[in-house]
Structure 1
């Protein structure tokens, strides 16, 4: 019988939270050279050039802002770059490329992961842990939670004054792609003290994950799901509702460790979710599965039906669309490798 995710209760010690802030495995080997700009999207080529140029300006910083024998040595304010664009245009590829080009120490995490680190460590300790960095990369910067946004804004202000360079990405809502730099303007407005040092770079284009691809794969039957899960070493098999209940008992910072070492995830009885808290937890799980390139196979409803139209019409629209895009990519991967 395959293992169940609901039987796993991973623990991540607080002192490992910052240490594990690195790019997902799927971005281990990316570089500026491996980003292939779409010839029909000139902003992509410009973004690669700007990102590579920015990486060369990042100095090595190891003092952590600590006071020396004759007082604290003044440090230059860290530089900032913001990559603004839609889903699947390669922003994370560019973000990871900047990370790989920067000197140690450095950190990489999603906006959600960063808020979890601050929550687990406390604000002051988080500042001290991250202030020795040359660079902090933040993927999927989000503006739908004012409290979290202002918390991270304050954190970035502190880090910037200590000389840490910061790069962030964010998704523009699909319905706003033709409205210029809406997301960038919101970002700069929210981060009042950092606005003057952030340079916004637009990255346009279609979602590469679904370019010329068929619709979402059809769910399999429960019997086929069990058969496939049993035949695949390292796979997990869970009931959808049981898995969602289990996620509610784990801090989202533990979801990455929850799926560590899993070869493929099988979920039975998938259905639309009408509880926003459940939906948002599943979004985080989808991100961690995507980071680890773990194929997903389901029975029940299609993966693009988990988040209802009511959910998509709400304030967390971009999260649900991103999660759906990633889940569909993982489900197609499952079909291709199955």
Structure 2
């Protein structure tokens, strides 16, 4: 069997980029199993020798900050075949858009052209953070995965949830259950049960609220962003009741946006709940002083903080002033006291612990 992933992991430890973690090491053979299976598929066969079946995929689940995304990065780096790595939310939005176009064109099986386009020339599809809350996604994801697997695409995904908890309490969940069976049949399910929350450790004790929002704050936040994500990112576009809600930069569960991006747009509670659902850490820059002149933006900010607070999302931000001094005049000052209190609480080193089981 290939030891490519083991060798890559050991090299990162030797360089000091990683620390040995038994839970992470335990999943390396599963990645190497896939690499061996893909190599076997790529070997030239004699006329009468049939190519082997694609290897089973891999579903890695576990708490936030345990290293799932880091291992996925390492795996994608090790591949020498066509691979696509994409956040699950973003991928499903692409699929839904493709279905919409196929239906407009009058295609009877609207999923078929979508599958063909996704599978074209692809050997491995790597998903970050599978988490299903949308009934439209829930109703087609089983057929989608099965069709991709039947075309030889190997699917590897990370999730914060065990398969049995996917789409938990969702509408018409009984129609979704065959997808859970498909995961168990055609993917190896592996729990990454590390005792260490690396993301939380990187933030614990460190400053997460920067004021004033000046060049020094920007530099400090950029350093945190680089540490959490490596600096590479792409926009995450969420679809909420037909509207597009965009987080300009997103990677490994960490979103980054300005106050204007999130609170300067005509967004409502459902949009902020979707954002809180999609990210585990939110970097929010340039929060201004609030009052009569930007009352609507202030109201949205209050709603955003409530959503992040309830979802136990880690908040890193730069602001014009301390929480208690952000909103000092105009209607809503009294109501903002709770928001200021929550902003204080969210700066605590232990904030966000226990969020892992919530997705």
Shorter-chain TM-score: what band? 0.5 to 0.7
Structure 1 partner of 2:30: 50
Partner SS, residue 132 of structure 2: coil
> What is the distance in 1 between the residues matched to 2:250 and 2:183?
35
Structure 2 partner of 1:101: 78
Mapped contact 1:150–1:190 kept (Cα < 8 A): no
Q: TM-score, normalised by structure 1?
A: 0.55
Greater RCO structure (CA 8 Å; 6+ sep): 1
Deviations 1:104-162 (A, max 9, x none): 32211111011111022223332112223110111101133343134222211101111
Structure 2 partner of 1:126: 114
Q: TM-score, normalised by structure 2?
A: 0.53
Structure 2: gaps spanning 5 or more residues: 1-7, 43-49, 100-110, 167-176, 223-238, 290-297, 319-359
Mapped contact 2:272–2:303 kept (Cα < 8 A): no
Aligned residue among 136, 148, 152 for 2:141: 152
For the structure 1 residues 217 and 257, does the alpha-carbon distance in structure 2 shift closer, same or farther, using more than 3 Å as the test?
A: closer
Mapped contact 1:88–1:208 kept (Cα < 8 A): yes
> What is the distance in 2 between the residues matched to 1:114 and 1:189?
21
For the structure 1 residues 57 and 231, does the alpha-carbon distance in structure 2 shift closer, same or farther, using more than 3 Å as the test?
A: closer
> What is the distance in 1 between the residues matched to 2:197 and 2:28?
17
Deviations 1:54-101 (A, max 9, x none): 333225989xxxxxxxxxx98735521011100011101111222222
Structure 1: gaps spanning 5 or more residues: 1-30, 63-72, 173-182, 236-246, 313-319, 332-338
Structure 1 partner of 2:104: none
Aligned residue among 103, 117, 136 for 2:94: 117
Partner SS, residue 108 of structure 1: strand
Aligned residue among 76, 96, 100 for 2:53: 76
Structure 1 partner of 2:259: 267
> What is the distance in 2 between the residues matched to 1:147 and 1:82?
22
Who wins on radius of gyration, i.e. which is larger?
A: 2
Partner SS, residue 192 of structure 1: helix
> What is the distance in 2 between the residues matched to 1:76 and 1:162?
10
1:1-338 to structure 2, matched below 5 A, reads 32-33=9-10, 34=12, 42-59=22-39, 76-77=53-54, 79-122=56-99, 123-131=111-119, 132-172=121-161, 183-187=162-166, 190-204=179-193, 205-211=195-201, 213-214=204-205, 217-218=208-209, 220=211, 224-225=212-213, 227-228=214-215, 251-252=244-245, 255-256=247-248, 266-267=258-259, 275-281=269-275, 296=285, 298=287, 306-308=304-306, 312=310, 320-321=311-312, 324-325=313-314, 327-328=315-316
For the structure 1 residues 219 and 196, does the alpha-carbon distance in structure 2 shift closer, same or farther, using more than 3 Å as the test?
A: same
> What is the distance in 2 between the residues matched to 1:154 and 1:296?
40
> What is the distance in 2 between the residues matched to 1:111 and 1:139?
6
Mapped contact 2:30–2:58 kept (Cα < 8 A): no
Partner SS, residue 209 of structure 2: coil
For the structure 1 residues 297 and 50, does the alpha-carbon distance in structure 2 shift closer, same or farther, using more than 3 Å as the test?
A: farther
> What is the distance in 2 between the residues matched to 1:78 and 1:102?
14
